[in-house]
Chain A
Amino acid sequence: MKVLLVEDNERVTQFVVKGLQEAGHTADHAPNGRDGMFLAASEPYDVIIMDRMLPGEIDGLAIIEALRKSGKRTPILILSALSEVDERIRGLRSGGDDYLTKPFAFGELLARIDALTRRAQGENAQTRLEVADLRVDLLTRKVTRGNRSVTLQPREFKLLEYLMRHADQVVTRTMLLENVWDYHFDPQTNVVDVHISKLRQKIDVDFERPLLRTVRNAGYTLTSHD
């Protein structure tokens, strides 16, 4: 995956670029708005990570607006120290696809850009999702593991659907909160973990190979690979 990072802070840049390279991605870096604008407009990237406050005249949101106006559909993740709800809304309205506030965990950033590129590849109108022998029929809302049928509550179904759509990717607790429950706040306790373990009870227990796995310091992943 080819990633563009537009960020003026050197420490953050070094941290992100190194992390991306270790995860097997290639990363270009622009330290200011002008270079960022130039690279974003001229090179094909799979995803752009954009800081909001940049040195020089062009800030992150202006670049995003300009790119969107010129028809570029590259997924953009906004990285910002501005954490207020209104700022988040402004960022997404300008054309950003996701918003992550600093300080952030690298795992969270990586999981989110993975999700963004997956989304960009098109969530074509699938009616069936499959991971190994776990099958979800989105029309009949039937879930089966092997040849055993699994009964899920509506919210559990939504949780599983999200995990299946992001199969083989790491999904963080915050992503689950935002996308499954539409909760944009920190619920203090580990409620998401409890939901996951309940789901695990239903789809993984009694099966030799667990599909829903915990990724340390990051979140969860639904995968058939080891």
Chain B
Amino acid sequence: MKIARSSALTLAVAYISLGLAALALFAAPMWYAWRVTIQEGRSEILQSDAQRLTEVFRREGAPGLVSYINARVGLQIAGERLLLLADEALAPLAGNLSAWPATVPPNPGTYTVKLELSGHLTDVALVHATLPGGYHLLVGRDTARYAPLEQRFWYALAGAVAILSVLGTFGGILIRRALMARIDGIRRTVSAIIQGDLSHRLPTHDSGDELNTLSRTINGMLEQIEQLIHGVRNVSDSIAHDLRTPLAELRSRLEELALTRPPTEQTFTEIDAAVTDVDGVIRIFNALLRLAEIDSGTRRSGFVPVDLSAVAAAAVEFYQPAAELRGSSLMLATSGPAPIRGDPVLLAQALGNLIDNALKYTPEDGAIVVEVRTAAYDNSSVEIIVADSGPGIPAEQRPKAVERFYRGDASRGTPGVGLGLSLVDAVARLHGSELRLEDNHPGLRARIVLTQDRPQITRIARATSDQGGFQHEPVYP
């Protein structure tokens, strides 16, 4: 990684620049306030000085002021304070300036001008006052006296800038090192994953900092990907396993036909049988595709408000004649509308599969009960229960029953491809739940718990009453 591209370094540079900008913004008003204060103070001192001299003039006249000034000039350090009394023609009478400076404007006032003092051109603050009788008075101060102070200010500022830059750079490097160490850990893990080992996870700890949060999110994503890939692997294994048998049968049937060349009538019978074989393969194939479609989770975008009771009622009505034919009873027990958000087609299919299973495994004169009710322990949940009086599934086989292509001992000799319950489970999982298989003493009790969709209750209630208790609205045109 190039240093110039390092985000940590960029960050450090940005922080240093920001610090410098803040420092400048902080120093500028200070500098201004300081200057103004000094200038104002200085001109105040000069004003009062001029005032005092004017009073001496008023009391003792020009000669008095001349001797006063001379006395003052003799006392003070040269160059500290400038004093000059001049007559009408601006000829010097007394003071420590040899001539009236040409740079001073003719009108009275406070000025800052450049004067040559002992060979140096310096900035001088002056008060020019006129006295009665046409005399001119000049009181001034050499501002160079404050130059060292100003210099010290700039030195201090430069020092601050230097410290900030050094510390900032140093801190930036340290942050970059720490960051790089962690990012490198993430990079190594990700490289390992890219090479195909999905079991790796990013290192995380308990703190809630950003990188840790990011690592956890990525771990969650990896978990999901691993599961999906596992699912895909499962499906392809299942396809390989379960499509091979019917395809082998079909192949031998056709090959035998080609070899033996039976009479026409028999050939047609064989062809019909072959078409039926193919239909069986297509059926398994479609079921697998449907499962994959459900597993991918994309169907969740099509969720709409659904009344589970209405779905159950329609399913029970649909299977009723089949139950009658077998001499079993199929009953529905609901406690009013059960609104949820879901996929009505998939829910109907799942319920259909459960009823179909129950019908298949319940002996004649058996009893199947489909129940939709608010969960006893939590009234924000809705339970769908399909209970039968058949042989049930032994407790140790129940987890396997949901697996793809699993066919329990009891199912031998019955039609079906062993995808029914896995489809129900997939639908349940799509709706944030799972299929639970329980003992019905005797029989099997399949239960799915779904979250009730409260805000939609009124709307659904109206929709169902309009349609005589069933949701006939075609969701898929």
Residues of A within 8 A of B (CB): 83-86, 88-89, 92-93, 103, 105, 154-155, 181-191, 194-195, 198, 217
Task: Encode B215-255 as 1/0 by CB contact (under 8 A) with A.
Answer: 00000000000000000000000000000000000000000
Known A85-B476, A86-B302, A89-B476: A184·B287 in contact at CB below 8 Å = no
Q: How far apart are B304's CB and chain A's nearest CB, in angstroms?
A: 13
Q: Which of B289, B322, B345 interacts with A184 by CB under 8 Å? A: B345
Contact B318 A181 (CB under 8 A): yes
Contact A88 B283 (CB under 8 A): no
Q: Using Cβ atoms and an 8 Å threshold, which residues of chain A touch B416?
A: 188
Contact A86 B319 (CB under 8 A): no
Contact B476 A88 (CB under 8 A): yes
The 10 closest A-B pairs by CB, nearest first: A185-B349, A194-B321, A194-B322, A92-B477, A198-B321, A191-B322, A184-B476, A187-B352, A184-B345, A84-B293
Q: Using Cβ atoms and an 8 Å threshold, which residues of chain B touch A198?
A: 321
User: Given A186-B286, A189-B415, 11 other A-B contacts at CB below 8 A?
Assistant: A84-B293, A88-B476, A105-B279, A154-B468, A155-B318, A184-B476, A188-B356, A188-B420, A190-B322, A194-B321, A198-B321
Residues of B in contact (CB 8 Å), total 38
Q: How far apart are B436's CB and chain A's nearest CB, in angstroms?
A: 22
B314: Cβ under 8 A from any A Cβ: yes
The prevalent SS among residues of B at the interface is helix
Contact A191 B321 (CB under 8 A): yes
Q: Using Cβ atoms and an 8 Å threshold, which residues of chain B touch A195?
A: 321
B114: Cβ under 8 A from any A Cβ: no
The docked-state distance in angstroms from the alpha carbon of A225 to that of B193 is: 68
Contact A186 B287 (CB under 8 A): yes
Q: How far apart are A202's CB and chain B's nearest CB, in angstroms?
A: 12
The docked-state distance in angstroms from the alpha carbon of A188 to that of B283 is: 9
The docked-state distance in angstroms from the alpha carbon of A105 to that of B353 is: 24
Q: Using Cβ atoms and an 8 Å threshold, which residues of chain B touch A85?
A: 293, 299, 302, 345, 476
Q: Using Cβ atoms and an 8 Å threshold, which residues of chain A touch B359?
A: 189
B272: Cβ under 8 A from any A Cβ: yes
Q: Which residue of B lies closest to A182 (CB)?
A: B474
The docked-state distance in angstroms from the alpha carbon of A93 to that of B477 is: 9
Q: Using Cβ atoms and an 8 Å threshold, which residues of chain B touch A89?
A: 476-477
B62: Cβ under 8 A from any A Cβ: no
Contact B356 A182 (CB under 8 A): no
Q: How far apart are B431's CB and chain A's nearest CB, in angstroms?
A: 15
Q: Which residue of B lies closest to A177 (CB)?
A: B318
B145: Cβ under 8 A from any A Cβ: no
Q: How far apart are A86's CB and chain B's nearest CB, in angstroms?
A: 7
Within B249-305, the residues touching A (CB, 8 Å) are 272, 275, 278-279, 282-283, 286-287, 289-290, 293, 298-299, 302
